[in-house]
Amino acid sequence: MEKKDIQSTKVTSPLPTREGLGVGLFPILGKVIYGKYPLVYLDNAATTQKPRQVVEAMTEEYYNVNANVHRGVHFLSQQATELHEASRETVRRFLGAGSAAEIVFTRGTTESINLVASCFGQAFMKEGDEVILSEMEHHSNIVSWQLLQARQGIRLRVVPITDDGRLQMDAYEKLFNERTRIVSITHVSNVLGTVNPIKDIIRIAHEHGVPVLIDGAQSTPHMAVDVQDLDCDFFAFSGHKIYGPTGIGVLYGKEKWLDCIPPYMGGGEMIKTVSFEKTTFNELPYKFEAGTPDYVASTGLARALDFVSSVGFDAIEAHERDLTAYAMQRLMEIEGMKIFGPDIEEHDAVISFQVGNIHHLDMGTLLDRLGIAVRTGHHCAEPLMRRLGIEGTCRASFALYNTREDVDALVAGIQRVSMMF
């Protein structure tokens, strides 16, 4: 990666101060670690912290509304159902989907991808048929397809990446053939920070008559997504990575696909009629939502999306771009620093790095002793690590509440750790 001078870059974003979008809204950011160091939370690609309104809305629902949804005629059940369905509408608006029937609540990106692999696979793929993935996928977008491979004998075709962590688009185009049934690719790499050209990816797939699933786990917190504008066939994301609660996520699917693939799990909610001879399934999206949904988490997710929308992606992107560029420049001042992934223009708010021969686990553990939370390891992307010829990295990832001071603390921390080796 080239060292770039951004000294002249002005921080124009109205975003965080420790009191504003920082500790005021996210009390955990005021925590002191090991009784000594103020927390510097840089593990946002793993999960984000939750603003007060998310936690409070969920507490309020448990205290005052709690009842199972879609079932009861009583007051509370109806109120809970209204909240749950209003949340679905908030998600629909957030993603720019045409209909709430296209918004399926899941437990997260992993479940959303498994659902598509399993149900689309069952409906449309047989032995020898192919799915196109990429070398930079998270395990959830590899193993789901390998399970289908074990069941139905499908083949995985993999788009290679360049040395600086971008998809090789020429190679991508060449992977299509008469056996290609679906493309499943990440929007943003959770390791390299690469923002993939998904509009081109989708357009090329559609020219071959092939639908596309986008793994949006790492893009939705950082950039506006409009599924109709993208024209993707499926889109998956997780609530907990976008300031929402854990245990809830979303699968967007075009109605034409959701209509013609079978349900994922069987149980309550997803049926219309049941007899021992024959069961008929519920309408969309309930056909894919077996069992009691997490109707409290859906409220939390909706409040999180409201929060993100109220800050606005223009401000979020400006702030995080500034922070990422600043971090890249400051990190490159450190002797032995290697940053993985593309240059800043195609680089999202995730920075994976190694310093000299210092093992990533040692670096992460020692940074933790200074109150700095980063991720270490293979980041659920072992094939990517193999491609890069490494075992793992340290990863710092930013959210809208991080500041340049956080970056300075990281740099000072790494310098301090480096001196010990």
Quick one: 110 or 329, whose CB is closer to ligand PLP?
Answer: 110
Contacts with 333 (C-beta within 8 Å, 6 or more apart), sequence order: 411
Residue 282 in the binding site for ligand PLP (CB under 6 A)? no
Q: What's the min distance (Å) between Cβ of 140 and ligand PLP?
A: 4
Spatial distance between the Cα atoms of 120 and 116, rounded to a whole number of angstroms: 5
Give residue 305's Cα distance to chain centre: 14
Residue 348 engages ligand PLP in binding (rule: CB under 6 A) = no
The answer to whether residue 109 forms part of the interface with ligand PLP (CB under 6 A) is yes
- The two three-digit tokens of residue 67, written as one number: 């009842």
Cβ atoms < 10 Å from Cβ of 239:
32
Q: Which residue type, as a one-letter code, is found at position 360?
A: H
Q: Among residues 147 and 274, whose Cβ is nearest to ligand PLP?
A: 147
Catalytic residues: 380
What are the φ/ψ torsions at residue 2 (nearest 5 degrees)?
-70, 145
Stretch that binds ligand PLP, among 146-154, 211-219, 315-323, 358-366 (CB under 6 A): 211-219
Nearest distance from C-beta of residue 340 to ligand PLP, angstroms: 15
Instruction: Give the Å distances, CA to CA, from 82 to 23, 57, 76, 93, 117.
Output: 32, 14, 10, 16, 31
Which region among 4-12, 65-73, 107-115, 206-214 touches ligand PLP (by CB under 6 A)? 107-115
Residue 149 C-beta: closest distance to ligand PLP, Å: 19
Binding flag, residue 217, ligand PLP (CB under 6 A): yes
Give the burial class of 360: count Cβ atoms within 10 A of its Cβ; 0-12 exposed, 13-18 middle, 19 or more buried. buried
Among 186, 196, 282, 393, binds ligand PLP (CB under 6 A): 186
Task: Single out the residue of 87, 196, 238, 299 in contact with ligand PLP (rule: CB under 6 A).
Answer: 238
Our CB check for ligand PLP shows the closer of 94 and 176 to be 94
CB of 216 to ligand PLP, least distance (A): 8
Phi, psi of 185 (to 5 degrees): -140, 150
Contact pick of 77, 184, 218, 397 for ligand PLP (by CB under 6 A)? 218
Neighbours of 86 (CB within 10 A): 13
Buried b (16+ CB within 10 A) or exposed e, 325-353: bbbbbbbbeeeebebbbbebebbbbbbbb
| By CB under 6 A, residue 129 contacts ligand PLP | no
298 is an interface residue for ligand PLP by CB under 6 A: no
Asked if 49 is part of the footprint of ligand PLP (rule: CB under 6 A), the reply reads no
Give 182's strand partners: 131
Q: Can you tell me which of 50, 70, 138, 157 binds ligand PLP, judged by CB under 6 A?
A: 138
Site residues (CB under 6 A) for ligand PLP? Answer: 108-110, 138, 140, 186, 190, 215, 217-218, 238, 380
